[in-house]
Amino acid sequence: MSSQGDEHCDTARADTRQKLPPSQHYLTSSARWCLARISWGSQLSWLSLYFTFNLLLTLSNKSVLTSFPFPYTLTAVHALCSTIGGLVMRSKGLYTVKQLDLRGELVLVAFSFLYSVNVAVSNVSLHQVTVPLHQIIRAITPLFIIGISAVLFGTRVSRDRLHALLPVIFGVALATYGDYYCTRWGFFLTLLGTFLAALKTIYTSALQARPKQHRSSQSTPRIPEPATWRSSTPGYFTKSRPTFLIVGYARRLLVPPSLDLHPLDLLTRMSPLAFVQCVIYAQVSGELDRLARLGITGPWLHAQDTFSSSILRNATLSPTASIDCVHDHDMYAVGGIPLSLALILLLNGCIAFGLNVVSFSANGKVGALSMTVAANVKQVLTILFSVFLFNLTITSTNALGITATLLGGAWYARVEYRGKHGKSKPPS
């Protein structure tokens, strides 16, 4: 009886399709193709904005830190500007604040802690490894994202995407080829910082996702429920019940809930917490004490010369930071800081706010893996721009690495486009 009903429904649907005029079939297929192109164009626009702001902030930070060698304090300035900017956008009605329960609020506190710890670990590791080695290890962030996503969400990456990632990572290694040195502790901290950066990128995307009950059946594969973990878990986990329970609870603990937050809402909630934590790091590290002493005595040029000489000893940049020349004759100050430097810090914080807005928005649209690939491409272009802005000297090996990374990034973009919209062809 049921099979006869199904055959009747199939026949009815076929008759309906036959009754539709050919022009309507053409319009439907054309609309689908146009929507696919618009969706890809939107993702490409967000990636381009992220790439531009990321490159601009990196070059700005390189210049600012030359005359203001306080990385934790600078990060706190970034978080403060993001807090103020988010509150202004909220007052203008650009986004709606979502009501969260206690669990959601605790998740955001943990996320802000992850954000600030990632910055702290990265800064500490830079003092114990050389810059080329630090950049190479950070370049493998896409591999960390693939591994973490496979463990937490059961997602898999196609072989074409994995092949496209190899020249990007290999190119960064060649582009940053130089003096490799590290301590064991520094190497561990750099790996930990890379892992935390990948985890932060994944969580940023997950916190903006919709809850499971609102997702369609064609969404990203979900994590198996506890009742089905035994059937979907490798045999060496199912042999021992205690081991299985530990793995199951660890997986549930690390997977963030889907809060369906607007990117600006997430940024505004996270930034004040990150600001407080960065101020604490700055106090513990002694940055605020040094900053207070510099504000009273005013030896900004001495601090700048000391920092620049350390850069020269590492043979990475030359002391051509044009913003430093205005400090010598600056007669105005804000909190003991020259007014010109205060304005530069404000501009740098505004750029950081723009990057945070674009980064959070793009992450929810294009995914964590594409974001890290764009960051790697930005990394080699930063080296290329440094040749002109900071008189950085590169070798033929570095140039080969820059070329390989750019070509690998283009290859990955092509694979990503074909993977998402390869089946959406224009109507003939």
Note the pLDDT tens digit of each residue in 11-57: 544 444 444 455 444 444 444 444 444 444 477 788 788 878 888 88
Q: According to the model, what pLDDT value does residue 314 have?
A: 40
CB-based contacts of 186, cutoff 8 Å, min separation 6: 125, 127, 128, 129
pLDDT in tens, 63-109: 888 788 888 888 899 999 999 999 999 999 888 888 888 888 888 88
Q: According to the model, what pLDDT value does residue 87 have?
A: 94
Compute the average pLDDT of residues 384-412: 82
Among candidate residues 93, 114, 45, the one with its CA nearest the CA of residue 362: 45
Helix (H) or strand (E) holding 333: strand 333-334
pLDDT at 111 over 80: yes
Reduced to 3 states (helix: H, G, I; strand: E, B; else coil), residue 129 is strand
Furthest C-alpha separation in the chain: 93
- Say what angle helices 184-207 and 131-139 make with each other, to 10 degrees: 40
DSSP 314: T
Residue 84 · residue 349 · CB < 8 Å: no
Reduced to 3 states (helix: H, G, I; strand: E, B; else coil), residue 153 is helix
For residues 133-161, b (16+ Cβ closer than 10 Å) or e, as one string? bbbbbbbbbbbbbbebbeebbeeebeeeb
Q: What share of the chain is helix, strand, coil (3-state, %, to 5)?
A: 75, 0, 20
Q: According to the model, what pLDDT value does residue 82 have?
A: 93
Question: Residue 241 — pLDDT band, cuts 50, 70, 90?
Answer: low
Reduced to 3 states (helix: H, G, I; strand: E, B; else coil), residue 337 is strand
Whole-model pTM over 0.85: no
CB-based contacts of 237, cutoff 8 Å, min separation 6: 243, 244, 247
Q: According to the model, what pLDDT value does residue 409 have?
A: 84
Task: Give the CA count within 13 Å in the CB-facing half-sphere of 364.
Answer: 20
Compute the average pLDDT of residues 300-321: 39
Q: Sort 40 into a burial class: Cβ within 10 Å, 0-12 / 13-18 / 19+.
A: middle
CB-based contacts of 289, cutoff 8 Å, min separation 6: 283
